[in-house]
Amino acid sequence: MILRSNYYIIGSVTKLRVILTLITILIVGSLATGILLYAKGYRLEEGRLRLSLEGLMVVKSDPDGAQIFINGELEGATNSNLSLSSGTYDLSVRKEGFQNWEKRLTVEKEVVTQIEAVLFPSAPSLSALTFDGVENPVVTSDLSKVAFEVPASPENLNSQGEPERKSGLWVVELVNLPIGFSSEPRQITDTDLTDASWIFSPDNRQVLLTTKQGVFLLDAGDFTPQNELVNIASRKENLLLDWEEERKLKLESQLKRLPEKLSDILQRKSSSIVFSPDEKKVLYTASGNDVIPDGLIPPLPGASTQRQERNIKEGQTYLYDIKEDRNFLVSSEPVKLDINKYLSDNNGVDTSKKALHWFPTSSHLVLAESDRVSIMDYDGTNSQTVYSGSYQSPHVFPFSNRARMLILTNLGAESTPANLYSLTLK
């Protein structure tokens, strides 16, 4: 009797363990399924016991702590994730003291849409970097240095009527230098620059200076007085040929990283090509009409949903995103792209009044127009004016730390020589 009771108890315990094991498996499986469905974008519809498939929008901002508005409604703050049903939305990122970041975006089911909104101040501050007048600033192709003339004006003459040492050619760095190195403008020669021109070498370490007295090769990081200059006029032509060949070899190396069909189109149908600082995007001006084929690389989930233009037209400027295989029209009007073509007629002298520069983020462009400076997203949308007023267009150059830009202006005072001012962006 006792034996039968023991068997009964053991059997009951075994059944209970089996039941508990099945319940545990069911609960764990349900949770795992729920987590998987949530990760894929499924959500319970409000007021209904059924799942709907949604997409995920991840919104970040620089600086952070900005408000997120979807179709005009406050939805939270950056940095956060928003679950949205598939469709088109008007996104606005706002922070007091900064310009609004706004864009229309398409959210797709089961796809994560990542947004990184860079906000710029509503009223950037200006501070003078030079005080003795500046003329003819020339920037390196990688935006790391600017060379400019301080003219021999009456303010820069000594008591004998001769130019002070501070007149001549100067260089200012646009990159962050190691501790112990000054980022202030430095003079590299004090020679007479009347009717002179200058251009940087491909490695940006030297400046080729052409004056009425001769042609001189200067160290961009050191001072060479006028009485120590060496005339290399006989070498100029060969030197420029070598520099142009070096530039072309670098460009060819960069083009090899592009899809073959696009590389072929750019080599045949573009007048200027400038890669982004991270070399993941390329800015170019079309010199003829052509069509960029679809599907050069496999499509990526969460790629830009902004309108692209794969039919390129002569004279218009485009940006190609290598990672996402998308091509955007950024200017339908002629603009200057910063590129040193060493055998060109003007050899570094900027004659255009409208220019595009890469911003150091590689995701933004700086547009310099006659009366304003704007920063736009790489796809040509969300243009934000960071400076409006008098300045010598298109002379504006971003610093590598993204916190400042140099701008050449006399602040509207026509009787005052223009100087370089630092425009604070952060």
Q: Which tokens is 7 given?
A: 């068997």
DSSP 293: P
How many whole angstroms separate alpha carbon 251 and alpha carbon 242?
14
pLDDT at 293: 94
pLDDT at 35: 56
CATH architecture for segment(s) 58-118:
Sandwich (2.60)
Asked if 405 and 366 count as a contact pair (C-beta separation under 8 A), the reply is yes
| Strands 281-286, 270-275: pairing kind | antiparallel
pLDDT at 334: 86
| Strands 126-128, 419-424: pairing kind | antiparallel
pLDDT at 301: 77
pLDDT at 11: 58
pLDDT at 349: 46
pLDDT at 25: 73
Residue 21 identity (one-letter amino acid): T
How many whole angstroms separate alpha carbon 233 and alpha carbon 388?
42
Phi, psi of 403 (to 5 degrees): -90, -20
Q: pTM of the predicted model, to two decimals?
A: 0.81
pLDDT at 38: 53
Asked if 274 and 339 count as a contact pair (C-beta separation under 8 A), the reply is yes
102-140: b (≥16 Cβ within 10 Å) or e: ebebebbbebebebbbbbbbeebeeeebbeebbebbbbb
DSSP 343: T
Asked if 316 and 330 count as a contact pair (C-beta separation under 8 A), the reply is no
How many whole angstroms separate alpha carbon 85 and alpha carbon 109?
7
Residues of the chain with CATH 2.60.40.1120: 58-118
Q: Dmax of the chain from CA atoms? A: 130
- Please count the CA atoms within 13 angstroms of the CA of 392 that sit on its side-chain side: 22
pLDDT at 200: 95
Could you report the average pLDDT of every consecutive run of 10 residues in the chain (426 residues)? Answer: 52 66 70 55 46 76 93 91 89 95 89 90 92 93 92 62 74 75 84 94 95 96 95 96 93 92 93 92 94 89 86 95 94 83 54 82 94 94 92 92 92 89 92
DSSP 5: H
Say how many residues make up the chain.
426
Give 218: exposed, middle or buried? Use CB within 10 Å, 0-12, 13-18, 19+.
buried
